[in-house]
A and B are shown apart, each in its own frame.
Chain A
Amino acid sequence: MSRCGRTQQLEAVATGEAPVALATELRAHAQHCALCRHELNWLESETAMFRQRAGRDEVAHLWAGVASRSGLEAPRRWPRALVAMAAAAALLVLVGRVESPVPSLAVAGTSEAMESDALMSPTLFFEAGAPCSKLPLGVGFQCSQPVPASFLASR
């Protein structure tokens, strides 16, 4: 630490908290005072390291946890798989319009009910006549076929 006893002032210079006049004065002083120069070098190096380190973090996902613990509303988000599914389906509907007649849904050549893994699959095809009920719950595009009330009640 500076034996000039100006460590705290030098610190304010390094962090940019000091008024310009004081910063100018202390920098000029440090040119001639080895102790203050030494201290200022360190303070500025530390500040540089902390600044470079800051802002590298990804934290956006933490709000949901705070909101649920605090009873605040969490942002409504679709699960990733459903977003991917909706995007893939929208794309295929567009492609389908160009290449084929009215599509309906089947998964990669099988007529089995969709498993959650399949939601991420890019190989979704629409075939005429397949019911909308095969769409996973919450997928956000319009269904042109009526969904039976009994089906809705079963969910």
Chain B
Amino acid sequence: MTAVLQLLKRTQPITPETPDEALVRRAQAGESAAFKALFERHVVAVRRFLRDLLRQSDLADDATQETFARAHAQLVKLTDHDRFKPWLLGIARNVAFEARRVRQHDVLEEEDDVPDAVIPSPNPESVLLDAELEKHFTEALSVLSANRRAALLMRLDHGLAYEEIAAALGWSLATVKNEIHRARLKLRAHLLPHLTGERP
């Protein structure tokens, strides 16, 4: 009977509307098409997250593949079926940190000073991320410590809730909020010279 139900489930088509939660359950039941759908849905985000953490495209490619391979191997352990993305980014962050340790390129980043002065704000309507601004944007991100950067990216780039970030990184909610706040101030201070003036 269970086998029949599983077979019926498997024959349901996978569409863009199929929620992650359903895909996770189907992938846990051994349906590789469901896992591939999860891959296709999240690979762009994971790859960008890893490129931002590792700052090297080829390393990010390898780490992306490793992240999904680990996710596949550990998927049975995921009990919060609707939290696939935070869980996945948590794995990606671990993979990135391992890669960095192996490379030993990154020195320990010291606790940085966060600018406290009130700075002007840009006009969001005139923000155009051309190649020049993207370069400064990438630089500004790279100034942040890796942990802080991971938290900021999870929130701003990948839309995770603060609680999800806390769970993914194993931090308290207060730490997540504080880290993202500090990351933001630093990002803004770096970007300010390259953005144009306040909206009236």
Interface residues of A, Cβ cutoff 8 Å to B: 1, 7-8, 15, 17, 37-39, 41-42, 44-50, 52-55, 57, 59, 62-63, 65-66, 69-70, 72-73
The CA-CA distance from A131 to B162 in the complex, in Å, is 68
CB distance from A67 to the nearest CB of B (A): 8
Residues of B within 8 A of A46 (CB): 156, 184, 187-188
The answer to whether B156 touches A72 (Cβ under 8 A) is no
On whether A49 and B127 interact (CB within 8 A), knowing A1-B181, A70-B72, the answer reads yes
The CA-CA distance from A53 to B137 in the complex, in Å, is 10
Tell me the dominant secondary structure on chain B's binding face: helix
Residues of A within 8 A of B14 (CB): none
The CA-CA distance from A3 to B64 in the complex, in Å, is 39
The answer to whether B121 touches A42 (Cβ under 8 A) is yes
The CA-CA distance from A28 to B121 in the complex, in Å, is 18
Q: Specify the chain A residue showing the minimal Cβ separation from B140.
A: A49
Tell me the dominant secondary structure on chain A's binding face: helix
The answer to whether B156 touches A57 (Cβ under 8 A) is no
CB distance from A89 to the nearest CB of B (A): 32
Interface size for chain B: under 10, 10 to 19, 20 to 34, or 35 or more residues?
Answer: 35 or more
Interface residues of B, Cβ cutoff 8 Å to A: 32, 35-36, 39-40, 43-45, 47-48, 51, 61-62, 64-66, 68-69, 72-73, 118, 120-124, 127-129, 133-134, 137, 156-157, 159, 162, 181, 184-185, 187-188, 191, 195, 198-199
CB distance from A102 to the nearest CB of B (A): 44
On whether A41 and B129 interact (CB within 8 A), knowing A47-B156, A63-B36, A72-B72, the answer reads no
The answer to whether A41 touches B123 (Cβ under 8 A) is yes
The CA-CA distance from A37 to B118 in the complex, in Å, is 13
Residues of A within 8 A of B157 (CB): 50, 53-54
The CA-CA distance from A47 to B122 in the complex, in Å, is 12
Residues of A within 8 A of B45 (CB): 54
The answer to whether A53 touches B129 (Cβ under 8 A) is yes
The answer to whether B47 touches A62 (Cβ under 8 A) is yes
The CA-CA distance from A69 to B69 in the complex, in Å, is 6
Nearest 9 CB-CB pairs, A to B?
A: A44-B124, A65-B65, A69-B69, A41-B121, A52-B129, A70-B72, A66-B68, A45-B124, A48-B127
On whether A54 and B48 interact (CB within 8 A), knowing A42-B121, A63-B36, the answer reads yes
The answer to whether B65 touches A69 (Cβ under 8 A) is yes
The 18 listed contacts between A and B (C-beta, < 8 Å) are A1-B184, A1-B185, A37-B121, A37-B199, A42-B121, A42-B188, A45-B122, A46-B188, A47-B124, A48-B127, A49-B127, A53-B48, A53-B134, A54-B45, A59-B44, A59-B47, A69-B66, A69-B69
The CA-CA distance from A38 to B120 in the complex, in Å, is 7
Residues of B within 8 A of A54 (CB): 44-45, 48, 157
